[in-house]
Amino acid sequence: MPDKSQLPYLVKLLDDDSPAIRQHVLEQILAYGPDVEDALRVYEPALTHRQRTLLRTALAEHRDSRTRREAWRAWPSLEDSYARLERALDLLAQFQYHWAPPVSLGEVLDDLASSFLTSGRPMDPVGLSRFLFITKKFRGDADDYYNPLNSNLYYVIQERRGIPITLTAVFMLVGRRAGLEIRGCNVPGHFLAKATVNGEDALFDCFNRGRMLSRSDKLQLRATLSPHMAHVLNEGASTESIVSRVLRNMIQAYDQQDAPEKSMMARELLRDLQETARQP
């Protein structure tokens, strides 16, 4: 534990002219742990208005981040796989935004599901696909594929565009509200949705306007897979594998943007998830 006698010297540097020094000072202060707020109250009267504002803002963000990290470690314990996926993607969005959106992800998905249920479309996976990708015009973001926000379900729903895995997640979570069983299909290099249509397994390409793969498409796809990966076409992707893949997409996108702090945040969340998965 750092020496608390250094706190009065650190707080005086909160408004230093150098952004690097200010960031280093905040990191040093937050390293004291959860009881640092009590220790800092002694020094607050001697701070300038700017120093006090910076400190309170940093501490509030730290509290929110700590609360979100606790929630992040808890979501894998939810029993329902769809509830786990929704909670994980909701938290990932909050980590990206650094705040909780005013409307919950559940409410946003409820609105989409309500619109589908009154749309006149058939209440089956094909009808939902046409509702989302034709009526609502969800589409793959080919022009800005590596935008990190394409891994953010709030952004994807608002902008009506995303990457294969997040568009599939929208399809799955709206479908769940309509009583439809839609799973993810963890194809290497792509991500598809999987559902039963007319008694047979069907695959949907949500990045390409929800197109349902033909029998020929599926044979060609199977031919591209190595023998030890062929099983992915027959199995639904687990929630944890979906969330892990979303995080890896975020890491790649942030690395391409040269945003090391945000990339590190995603790496830490992935590590938390992996550690939770290893626990008995």
**Percentage of the chain lying above the pLDDT 70 cut:** 93
Q: Average of pLDDT values for 205-233? A: 89
The residue out of 70, 93, 123 marking a domain boundary is: 70
- Check if the beta carbon of residue 153 is closer than 8 Å to that of residue 101: no
Statement to judge: residues 49 and 107 lie in one domain: no
Residue 228, amino acid: H
Whole-number pLDDT of residue 101: 83
pLDDT bucket at 34, cuts 50 / 70 / 90:
low
pLDDT bucket at 188, cuts 50 / 70 / 90:
confident
How many residues are recorded in the chain?
A: 280
Q: What are the beta bridge partners of residue 203?
A: 194
Statement to judge: residues 13 and 144 lie in one domain: no
pLDDT bucket at 15, cuts 50 / 70 / 90:
confident
In this predicted structure, the answer to whether residue 207 has a pLDDT above a threshold of 70 is yes
Statement to judge: residues 228 and 151 lie in one domain: yes
For the chain, first and last CA: distance in Å? 30
Alpha carbon 154 to its chain's center: 9
- Check if the beta carbon of residue 91 is closer than 8 Å to that of residue 71: yes
Q: What is the DSSP letter of 52?
A: H
Q: Report which listed range, 63-67, 96-100, 161-165, 236-240, is most confident.
A: 161-165
> In whole angstroms, what is the distance from residue 223 CA to residue 157 CA?
33
Q: Average of pLDDT values for 7-28? A: 78
Distant-in-sequence, close-in-space partners of 224: CB < 8 Å, separation ≥ 6: none
Statement to judge: residues 102 and 225 lie in one domain: yes
Statement to judge: residues 46 and 83 lie in one domain: no
Question: For the segment 151-167, what is each residue's pLDDT rounded down to a tens digit?
Answer: 999 999 999 999 999 99
Whole-number pLDDT of residue 173: 98
Residue 7, amino acid: L
Strands, DSSP E only, in 174-239?
A: 183-185, 192-197, 200-205, 211-212
Statement to judge: residues 206 and 93 lie in one domain: yes
User: Looking at the 3D structure of the chain, how many domains does it have?
Assistant: 2
Question: Which DSSP helix (H) or strand (E) runs through 139?
Answer: strand 139-140
Statement to judge: residues 54 and 116 lie in one domain: no
- Check if the beta carbon of residue 85 is closer than 8 Å to that of residue 169: yes
Coil, strand or helix: which one is 68? helix
Mean residue pLDDT across the chain: 88
Q: Average of pLDDT values for 140-157? A: 96
Statement to judge: residues 18 and 121 lie in one domain: no
Coil, strand or helix: which one is 203? strand
> What b/e readout covers 134-159, taking b as 16+ CB neighbours within 10 angstroms?
eebebbbbeeebebbbbbbbbbbbeb
Q: Which domain covers residue 166, as residue numbers?
A: 79-278
pLDDT: is 31 or 127 the higher one?
A: 127
Instruction: Work out the widest C-alpha separation in the chain, in whole angstroms.
Output: 74
In this predicted structure, the answer to whether residue 66 has a pLDDT above a threshold of 90 is no
In this predicted structure, the answer to whether residue 257 has a pLDDT above a threshold of 80 is yes
Structure tokens at 212: 């349902």
Statement to judge: residues 87 and 181 lie in one domain: yes
Distant-in-sequence, close-in-space partners of 5: CB < 8 Å, separation ≥ 6: none
Whole-number pLDDT of residue 169: 98
Judged by average pLDDT, the poorest of 4-8, 128-132, 194-198 is 4-8
Whole-number pLDDT of residue 250: 97
Q: Average of pLDDT values for 30-43? A: 71
